Structures are given as structure tokens and as C-alpha cells.
Amino acid sequence: MKSSATVMRKRILVAFIALIVVFSALGGRLFYIQIIDGAELRSKAGEQWYRDLPLKAARGKILDANGVVIADSKDVFTLYARPNAVVDKASVAGEIAEALGETYETVFDKLSKSVGEVTVKRKIDADTAYALREKDIAGLYFTLDTQRNYPFGSSMSQIVGFTNIDNIGQSGIESYYDKYLTGVDGYAYTSTDIAGRETDDTATRYVPSIPGCDVTLSIDSNIQAFADSAVHTAAAEFSARAAQMIVMDVKTGGILAMAKSPAFDLNDPPRNDLDLLNELSRNTLVVDMYEPGSTFKIFTTAAAIEAGVVTDNDSFFCAGSRTVDGQRIRCWRSIGHGSQHLAEGVKNSCNCVFMDLALRLGTSRFYDALETFGLGAKTGIDFAGESSGMLMKEENVKTVDLARIGFGQAVAVTPLQLITGVCSIVNGGTLYRPYLVASVDSYDGKNLATRDPIAVRRTVSEATSARMREYLRGVVESGGGSKAGVAGYAIGGKTGTAQKYAGGGGIAQGKYISSFIGFAPADDPKYAVLMIVDEPQGYMYYGSLVAAPYAGDVFEKIFDYANIAPSEDVGVEYTFMPDVIGMTAQEAVAALEKQGLGVELIGDGKIIAQTPIPNARVKVADTVLIRSE
């Protein structure tokens, strides 16, 4: 039998070993907590000891080409409450509700929450915030926030875009360049007790915010104002579905203006109607495509000249239509243009001439040229959602399709594609990538990036470009584009009138897209203007009458703004509009042409209406409209 002393020693040894194990476990746990997990636990403790309030960073400015502010940020405030620190919740809720225009119940519910901190309201204007802060109510705290401000209101609304309540870009430049415009938020740290109340020895520490970068556009706000006026006036005058305009720098691809009517105020977007907001904020000049009609004839002519399939001396005959693949395709002038050379065909916008040119080129050469002009592909502009337009698959193109493409049917382009391609034809033959942002700078003025013009490829030779400028100048001087002319200045351009299609693919009766594209000065182009009026109401729907005058108005304002002196004697010759009501179409055309006027004729019977009215004074070479029964 073991002695009691031996048993005791064993018990002591077991107890000692147990103590060693316990203390080792405690030491290991302490080491893990202090060394291994210490940083994370200290962080969690800090979250309980401190309250951090965000200091929102100011979003970068958006500026025009002249440094004029288009979008900036104004100071607003966010009101927070620490419910445990609010002594008389009922009374405080009443004061807050009255000051902020909120309901008492909404504020009281927030102050009654069992949380350390609650957001009462955001985007409070400075005056209201200062007035409420002077009351020095325990448990209430304000932090500085920012809210986007757009000094130009509805101007450029589809380009600039807007942000959400958290100042995150939702559309336009605000969205595309969001990562540059967004700054880095800061914080204010304050020590508190377990109930969320500030301690007596509290010291607030600040981590300052860093403002976002400033973005400078190629847009000139003055030229933009000219374009805005044109589209809003045109839309109202013709009760149109929409009117829109692009002004481009011919030599760089920079967008000088993009305007659309209807528009919306960027300071008050219709956020409660998402369908309306999406419709109004669509930059259709970039994202939508349409059948261009006669403005497309510029591409056909340039392609034919460049390929050498036509000369100035070639003669074309128009009897009012062509029959291709057994289908009769009408010229817009049903009585025909008769015999004409290429320059006359361009000036007359004769469909038959452009059918002939397309057929001479053939599908392969014509398609190669169209792709060189950038059609059927995105331009690469710095804007989201760009469309590539639409060309029929080359292998599916029939002869009749080719003929129609020649004068702008059976093809779809975006307005941006059209003006970009035309600029390449008249600037000497260089296709530039269009752009909206010219530079990005840090908030302290350091330049981070500057965009140089990007030449994509050559489209036509210098010789072809010079001939095209001459032909298109003739269109404005004595052809269908005369209403875009400005006395004393050389302008080139082309009108377009395209029928629209219904949902089933058939022609939508009475619905047209009226357009004009022009450039100036004609001998050395700097500015290009594309004006589009969608579904003008009434019988005046030709691009020469609906779109061209507004392009001319914008050109005239640009000449004044840019101090471009006239190149010619500004003397203007006038005549009087004869009374042609009751005449046959042929008689009326002859009478008007005798007066030196261009003619847009609808129908081929007896004349029942004319614009302008009889005996009105009109410029010689202006285009007038007559309508027959």
C-alpha cells in the first residue's frame, strides 16, 4: 500500500502540470490576441471608441474650351443624429422637421432608433444648416457634403449628363469620365463613450478630402448657345418631334457644340419618371442611327471621283426616274432634270445621277469607300453607347439596293458618323477621331492629359477634296442649299430629306427627317454644321427649307464670334416672288427660274400653294417651295 506522502506528491505534480497547461493556454491566447490579432481588435475597439463622419470630396469641374464652368459642386450639408445623446427627442424632432421641411413623424422615428448614429437628411443648403446648427442641439452633427451644380441648366444636357445623390456619374461626360471627376473622401474622427456620447476630453481629428480632377471639353459654350437657339426655334416653328445640331472643328474632329430639343434642366432632372429621363438624356446624335437621304450623296460623289469613274465632262440624263432590276426608282423631281454634268447633278441633288455613280462603282469598290469614310463602324468618340450605323452585308446587296444606297436610301448612319466622314472629304482627305474632352487637370491645376487630334486614315486625295468643296459650294450659292448662305461668305453644303419607316418596315406617310450639312469657309474649312429636324409638321419638310436656314444662322453667328471677315462683296440682290398659283408645274418652275430662284416642287399637277407668298421679297438664288394638287 502506497504511503500517503507518495500519493500527495503525485497529486501535487498533476496539479502543477495542470497549472502549467492552463497558464500556457492563457499565455498562448494572450499572445494571439495581442500579437497575431491585435491590429484587428484595436481597430474594432476604435470603432466603438470613435465616431467617424465622412467629409465628402468635391467632384471635379467640367469646363468648356474657354475655361467657362459648365458643371461644378456647391457646398451642402448632411445632418446626423446620435439618438442616445438627444435629450428631448419629441421637442428636437419638431425643431428639425420645421427647419428642414420634413414631417415630424419621419424625424421622430429616426431619433428613436436604437443605433449609435442615424442620417437625418442629406443635401441641406448652407443657410438652413447654419440656422439649425446655431441652436446647438445636443446629439446633432453636420458634415460638409457637395451637390452638383450646372450653371447652364438645360444646355448640353445630353452631353454633360448628371449624377445621383451620391455624386456618382449616371450619364454623359459625368459617367464616362467618372473615375477622373470623383475625388477621395476624408473623415472626421471624434471619441465617444459606449452610448455614443462625446467624451469630455474629446478631440476631433480630420483626414482631409481630395477634390476630383477637372475635365475640359472641346465644346465652346458660345457656339453651343448658337446651336441651342437654332434647335429650340426650329422644333417650335415646325412642331417637330425633335431638332438637333452638331458643330465640329473640321481640322481636328473636336466637337464644338451638340444641341438637341427637347432637353431637360440638369439641376432638376425628372428622376420620378425614369422613362422620360432616359428619353431626354439620350444623346441621339451619337447613339441613334437614321436614313440620311441626300446628304449621303456627298460620299457617293467623293467615292466616284476618287475611283476615277466620273469626270467633270460626263453627262447624265434625268427623265424623272430610273428603272433598276425591274423597279422604277423616282428622282425627287418628278418632271426630271434633263441633261446635266456632274457639278449640276450635285447642285440639283438628282437621284438619277447618284444611282448612275453607284452602279459605275459597283458594290465592292463602293463598300470599300464607305468603310474608308468610317460608315458601318463606331467613330471611337469618348462617349458611352455609340452606335456603329448599319450597312447591308455586301454579299446581300442587289443592283437595286446599290442604286438606292447611292442617293442615301437602304443605309443608316449616326449624325456623328455623317459629319465626321464629310469633314474628312472637305478638309483635304483626313478622317479624324471625334472627341469631347480636350484635357484633364488635377484640382491644383496640374495637367494630367491633353488630347491631340487623332488622324485615323486618309479617305480621299487633296485633289478630290478640292473638287468636292467646289461642287458643294455651288449647292449653297445657287442650289438647294441657298438658304444656308451668308452674304459675303463662301459656304459649302448639302441638303437632305429622308422618309421615315414605320415599325413594320414600310414607309411612314408624312414623316420625314429634314437635314443640312455644311462647312465654312468653303475654300479652307474650319467649321462644319449638321442640322437635323425630325418629323417637321406641315407640307414644308424639305431640308432646303426646314434645316438649311438654321445652319445659315449659326454660320453667321460663328463668323461674327470668330471675327471671320467676309471674303466677298456683301451686296445682296433681291427679287420678288411671282404668283404661280394655278399654273402647271412646268409653267411655275419656268417662271421661278426666270426670276433667278431655285425651286422645290411637290407633285406635278397644278400649283395650289407656294412659300413664300406672292410678291414677297426674296434673295436671288434662294430656294422656294411650290406644291401641286
Query: Which sequence positions are flagged as catalytic?
Result: 294
The closest alpha carbon to 288, from 185, 184, 417, belongs to: 417
CA 558/CA 565 separation, integer angstroms? 11
Determine how β-strand 623-628 pairs with β-strand 598-602: parallel
The closest alpha carbon to 139, from 190, 98, 208, 206, belongs to: 190
Residue 445 makes CB contacts below 8 A (sequence gap 6+) with none
Reported as half-sphere exposure (CB side, CA atoms, 13 A), residue 221 has a value of: 19
Asked if 243 and 533 touch (Cβ cutoff 8 Å), the reply is yes
> In 3-state terms, what secondary structure has residue 511?
strand
> In 3-state terms, what secondary structure has residue 186?
strand
Return the bridge partners of 330, or none. Answer: 321
Return the bridge partners of 69, or none. Answer: 63
The three three-digit cell numbers of residue 135, written as one number: 441652436
Asked if 183 and 210 touch (Cβ cutoff 8 Å), the reply is yes
The 10 Å Cβ neighbour count of residue 238 is: 21
Asked if 411 and 298 touch (Cβ cutoff 8 Å), the reply is no
CA 231/CA 225 separation, integer angstroms? 10
CA 243/CA 536 separation, integer angstroms? 9
CA 535/CA 235 separation, integer angstroms? 9
The DSSP line for 231-299 is HHHHHHHTT-SEEEEEEEETTT-BEEEEEEES---TTS--TT-HHHHHHHH--HHHH--B--GGGGHHH
Amino acid at 297: K
262 prior amide bond cis, ω within 30? yes
In terms of Cβ atoms closer than 10 Å to its own Cβ (0-12, 13-18, 19+), residue 99 is: middle
CA 476 to chain centre: 28
The DSSP line for 386-398 is ----B---GGG--
C-alpha pair distances (Å), 333 with each of 426, 624, 626, 628:
27, 14, 12, 12
